[in-house]
Chains A and B, each alone.
Chain A
Amino acid sequence: MALDNTPKRVFKVVGTRPPRPDGIDKVTGRALYGADVSAPGMLTAHILRSPHAHAEIVSIDTSAAEALSGVKAVVTAKDFAPQDDDFLMDVLDNCMARDKVLYDGHAVVAVAATNSAIAKAALKLIKVTYKALPHVTDVDAAMTLDAPVVQEGRSLETVPEGMSQNVTSHCEFGHGDLDAGFQKADVVVERSFTTAATHQGYIEPHACLASMTADGKADLWCCTQGQYNVRDLCSAALGMEGSQLRVTASEIGGGFGGKTTVFIEPVALALSRKAGRPVKIVMSRDEVFRATGPTVSSSIDVKIGMTRDGRITAGEAHLRYSGGAFPCGTVDMGAQAAFAAYDLQAVRTLGYNALTNRPKEAAYRAPGAPQAIYAVESVVDELCQQLGLDPLEVRLKNAARKGTRSSYGPTFEDIGLVATLEAAKAHPHYSAPLAEGQGRGLSAGFWFNFGGNTCVTLNVNTDGTVGVTEGNPDIGGSRAAISQMAAEELGIPYDKIRTIIADTSALGHNDVTDGSRVTFSVGLATIKAAQDAIAKMCSRAAQIWGIDEEAVVWKDGAAEPAGPNAGKFPPMSLAEIAAVSFNTGGPIAGHHEFNADGAGVSFGVHLVDVEVDKETGATKVLRYTVFQDAGKAVHPSYVEGQMQGGAVQGIGWALNEEYIYGEDGRLQNPGFLDYRVPVASDLPPIETVILEIPNPGHPYGVRGVGETPIVPPLAALSNAVSRAIGTRMSSLPMSPPRILKALSKG
């Protein structure tokens, strides 16, 4: 059968809003998450963590703990295989400190016992002797030459000579003549910004259940964004062969990037190996805050020049990020994303990563971009204010579009930025009147989106139903979207399809659920797997009819002769072909594996109105609208959900959320009471406008949508607050004390 690869724009199933396949399990409490399973003979483990921000481990005495009745195994860093690869070694060192503890909360010893109370009692019996070392938790302080060195010898060759050893990497992007650009400007604004580290804040703490048997085979159940990644990291840590470790991803209670690595999984496996029994570890919320997540903290300088009529002549940004106590490449993505929304003649971004005594950074939704774009979009807004220009018109005037050489190198294909800005301009929100004391803020946002390694199997059952086996944990409804795409391509109803997420031994490798890649890449692999199955079904029909398989086409869920010359046979449906498959060559399955390319970048624009209480410094969000290009929204409800959820995480980042460290280098707010994420009563409705500018890299035009929505809120809120109070804000979060301070400075 000849394949039709022209992009599809008329859909039957894609673009509708069917109920998600895991819906009933999740509303009845039946869905099983990381902490919800147990095993016969299971032990419970707890982890002893460093009370110091930075200290040498002089000695560890676990003898009293081991002697406690009910304790079955104790492990430290010594129980893991050393790694040649720096990246792996860092992941492992973060799971269990080797010679030094590098931050408050760094794991030191783990104990498995017959119950949780005994394991906790055993932790109290462990004697760790520390030699405290000076610490540093601020990124700018860490870059000074007299700062305490967090880890020695970790600087890459890219780092200019003469910098602190804490600086681990340096990057530079851009093009054009900056000096000439700034000279052409009528106004140049230069400002410095800081953003606090924030946590992904998933409601489900990390949890896993590991079971290793005496023959070295192991099973691991855990909440993760990528079971294959967990398998690779854990098998290396334990010195096992990958095939001997089967990892099953539980339902996942949120991740946002924070569950793309391992923390407790290798520890549970090592304890199980030692004890010869299954071991469960569930983190407390305090542990989640102190030892997992967070995003980078940042300090950024931005300089932008603009002509009187609103043309940007040059842009420059210096970004200093800290990904905590380990080298971190997130600043590269910030430096690439900073000016992505603009078509510029002269642009340069420089990035540095510095080590601090904070937990190891984990990805958080569009990692690195929100901070950089916050700083750039704040300066653009200030220029608009100074020149008396409309901030939307200025963004339209300078917007990147098809053919623009992006600030980070590549030339853009079809992108939706202009359409998204136009949609914002036409929306009633933009022209609605504001009352005294209120402010309106606007920001554009951008994310690259990724494709990546993907593998999908599609099984045609003899009763005419279809099973799709994919390998990416479903965080926000992706099983529904994958089933929709399979149904669309096969031409059968949505409810004839069941999509499941395979364990690591049931399907080939899949990259983690990140980079907004699942609906794009897994969707594309599903479409190709469906086409593979269709080709086989056409060939079976051809065989039954005794005609050439090239003379059979697939239409509306059935094989039919390509035309009158091919022969005269009534169409054979998928169900009819499947029913006789055992007599025509055996079971029918489609398969596709690839390293997906062509993810297609995504732009969004957010509009927000706020009111600031000048007595308390509290900001009330009055109205919020998100505009975003989704390429093609497969399940629009879940696309809206991504836009709304990302916006609200960004609102929390802008207004309240931050890691607060004391003088002693310890985290002062490791709980939801003091680390305040937005609650329902803080928020207005979040309106959404989906634009659909097809991504040329996907047959249905799909683009990833999950990450972009966290990018614009930081600047949108800051611009709104700055306009409302008449003072430019330059530090996040804009918590009430910070706003009061800004107001008192006037």
Chain B
Amino acid sequence: MKSIHVSTTVNGDAVEFICAPDESLLDVLRNRLGLTGAKEGCGTGDCGACSVTLNGRLVCSCLVLGAEAEGADVGTIEGLANGDALHQLQQSFIDHAALQCGICTPGILVAAKALLEKNPDPTDTEVRYWLAGNLCRCTGYDKIIHAVQDAAQKMRSA
């Protein structure tokens, strides 16, 4: 199989890489670009640990090919904070102890950010359904919902 050359943007930076035609975007991010914040929990689209945005749309990067990133705009957990300044969601997750082991956290933060961009004032039920594709085995989700709502409220009043 011949490798493919891809030019793309990741977290606002221009990036080029080559990858195999059947290589997932998740593998490209983790193994070729050194961005290991997105995790592989399943590789089949069932856990959400690999969540990133592709042209603003929330996707499972394990289900996207690296080649599909050509000319696109990819957003990962590594781009959530603005330098030293944490995104409000990141701060709220720490404040509300919304992570235990933390392996689901990057995916959940990326997904929650996508939610709040669409819907800045969601109900708890809306948050729960939006995050239904992101498994967390440690927390029982309770503190995650609180953290998202805390961030949403602070972002609305900012």
Contacts and interface: CB of A to CB of B under 8 A. Distances in A.
A626 to B, nearest CB: 9
Contacts of A254: 100-101, 103, 137-138
A256 B102 contact: no
A314 to B, nearest CB: 37
A672 B93 contact: no
Interface of B: 20, 30-31, 35-44, 46-47, 49, 76-78, 80-81, 86, 90, 93-97, 99-106, 109, 124-125, 127-129, 131-145
Given A28-B37, A28-B80, A679-B135, A476 B100 contact: yes
Contacts of A680: 127-129, 131-132, 134, 136, 141, 144-145
A203 B47 contact: yes
Interface residues of A, number: 59
Closest 9 CB pairs of A and B: A29-B37, A253-B103, A26-B102, A648-B140, A637-B97, A644-B140, A29-B77, A672-B46, A476-B100
A673 interface: yes
A686 B135 contact: no
A692 interface: no
Contact of B94 (A24, A284, A640, A673): A24
B145 A475 contact: no
Given A29-B76, A637-B96, A204 B135 contact: no
A202 B31 CA distance: 22
A203 B104 contact: yes
Contacts of A204: 39, 41, 101, 103
B137 A19 contact: no
A20 B97 CA distance: 8
A681 B129 contact: yes
Contacts of B35: 29
A677 B129 contact: no
B144 A638 contact: no
Given A28-B90, A644-B139, A285 B105 contact: no
B102 A679 contact: no
Provide the main secondary structure of the chain A interface. loop
Given A204-B103, A476-B100, A476-B101, A677 B135 contact: yes
B101 A252 contact: yes
A51 interface: no
A614 interface: no
A60 to B, nearest CB: 27
A638 B104 CA distance: 17
A672 B86 contact: no
Contacts of B81: 28
22 contacts: A17-B97, A22-B102, A27-B90, A27-B99, A28-B90, A29-B77, A202-B103, A203-B104, A204-B101, A251-B102, A252-B101, A256-B137, A477-B97, A641-B138, A645-B138, A648-B140, A671-B46, A673-B44, A673-B46, A677-B135, A680-B128, A680-B145
Contact of B135 (A17, A251, A638, A672): A672
A201 B136 CA distance: 9
Nearest to B44: A671
Contact of A647 (B44, B96, B97, B140): B140
Nearest to A117: B20
Give the residue among B47, B86, B93 with the most A Cβ atoms within 10 A: B47
Given A253-B103, A648-B141, 10 more contacts: A20-B94, A28-B90, A29-B36, A204-B39, A254-B137, A284-B43, A645-B137, A645-B138, A671-B42, A683-B128
Nearest to A637: B97
A22 B101 CA distance: 10
Contacts of B93: 23, 27
A28 B81 CA distance: 7
A477 B76 CA distance: 25
A194 B102 CA distance: 34
Nearest to B31: A38
A685 B135 contact: no
B143 to A, nearest CB: 6
A64 interface: no
Contacts of B109: 27
B77 A475 contact: no
